[in-house]
Amino acid sequence: MSTDAVQDEQQFISDLYARLDALRDRAEGSVRQSVAQVGTGRQAKLERDVHVQEETARLAQLNAVESGLCFGRIDFRDGVSHHIGRIGMREDDAERTPLLIDWRAPVARPFYLATGYSPMGLRRRRHLSTRGRTVTDLHDEIMDLGDTTRTGHESRDADEVLLAALNAARTGRMADIVQTIQAEQDRVIRASHRGVLVVEGGPGTGKTAVALHRAAYLLYAHREQLARRAVLVVGPNPAFLGYIGEVLPSLGETGVLLATVGELFPGVAARGKDTPAAAAVKGSPGMAGVLARAVRDRQTVPEHVLEIVHEDHGVLPLDRASAEDARAAARATGLPHNLARPHFAFRVIDALTAGLAERLGADPYGGPNLLGADDIAQLGKEIATSRAVHAAIDELWPSLTPERLVAGFLADPLQLPEHEQALVRRVDGPWTPADVPLLDEAAELLGADDSAERAAQEAARQEQIAYAQGVLDVSAGSTTYEFEDEESEVLTAHDIIDAERFAERQEEADTRSAAERAAADRTWAFGHIVVDEAQELSAMAWRLLMRRCPSRSMTLVGDPAQTGDAAGCDTWQEILGPYVGDRWRLERLGVNYRTPAEIMAVAAEVRRSVEPGFEPPRSVRSTGAEPLVRTVPEGELVRAAVALAAERGARAQSADGGRLAVIAPAVLLPRLAAALPSASCGEAPDLTSPAVLLTARQAKGLEFDRVVVVDPDGVRGGSPRGANDLYVALTRATQWLGIVRAQGDAAGPPPAGE
Q: How do residues 247-271 score in pLDDT, each as one tens digit? A: 999 998 988 999 999 999 999 989 9
Q: What's the helix, strand, coil split of the chain in %, to 5?
A: 45, 15, 40
Of the pLDDT bands very low, low, confident and very high (cuts 50, 70, 90), residue 126 is: very high
Q: Say if residue 490's pLDDT is above 50.
A: no
Q: Does residue 195 or residue 512 have the better pLDDT?
A: 195
Q: What is the pLDDT of residue 151?
A: 83
**What burial class does residue 551 get, using C-beta atoms within 10 Å of its C-beta: 0-12 exposed, 13-18 middle, 19+ buried?**
middle
- CA 683 to CA 693: how far, in whole Å? 10
Output the pTM of the full model: 0.86
pLDDT single digits (tens) 396-414: 999 999 999 999 999 999 9
Residue 507: pLDDT band (50, 70, 90) is very low
Residue whose C-alpha is closest to residue 355's, from 407, 403, 306: 306
Q: Is the pLDDT of residue 480 over 90?
A: no
Distance CA 583, CA 751 (A): 43
- Residues in the annotated binding site: 201-208
Q: What is the pLDDT of residue 365?
A: 78
**Cα diameter, the chain:** 121
Question: Can you give the pLDDT at residue 20?
Answer: 95
pLDDT digits (tens, 9 = 90+) for 319-373: 999 999 999 999 999 999 999 999 999 999 999 999 999 888 887 877 888 888 8
- For 105, what's the count of Cα atoms within 13 Å in the CB-facing half-sphere? 15
Binding positions for ATP are 201-208
Average pLDDT over residues 683-706: 93
H helix count then E strand count, the chain: 30, 23
> What average pLDDT is seen over the chain?
88
Query: What was the pLDDT predicted at 3?
Result: 65
- Contact, 105 vs 111, CB < 8 A? no
How far CA 730 is from CA of 563, 602, 650, 662, in Å, comes to 14, 8, 21, 11
To the nearest 10°, report the CA torsion of 644, 649, 654, 655.
90
Is pLDDT above 90 for 205? yes
Res 494: pLDDT: 46
Write out pLDDT tens, residues 278-317: 999 999 999 999 999 999 999 999 999 999 999 888 999 9
* Spatial distance between the Cα atoms of 530 and 278, rounded to a whole number of angstroms: 27
CA–CA gap between residue 15 and residue 632 (Å, rounded): 60
Q: How far apart are CA 681 and CA 696, in angstroms?
A: 13
Residue 235 pLDDT level (bands cut at 50, 70, 90): very high
Distance CA 128, CA 522 (A): 44
C-alpha angle with apex 671: 667 to 673, nearest 5 degrees? 105
Confidence of residue 31 (pLDDT cuts 50, 70, 90): confident
**Percent of the chain whose predicted confidence (pLDDT) is above 90:** 68
**Does the pLDDT of residue 654 top 70, yes or no?**
no
Q: In the prediction, which pLDDT does 752 show?
A: 45
Cα angle for residues 473, 478, 484 (degrees, 5° grid) = 105
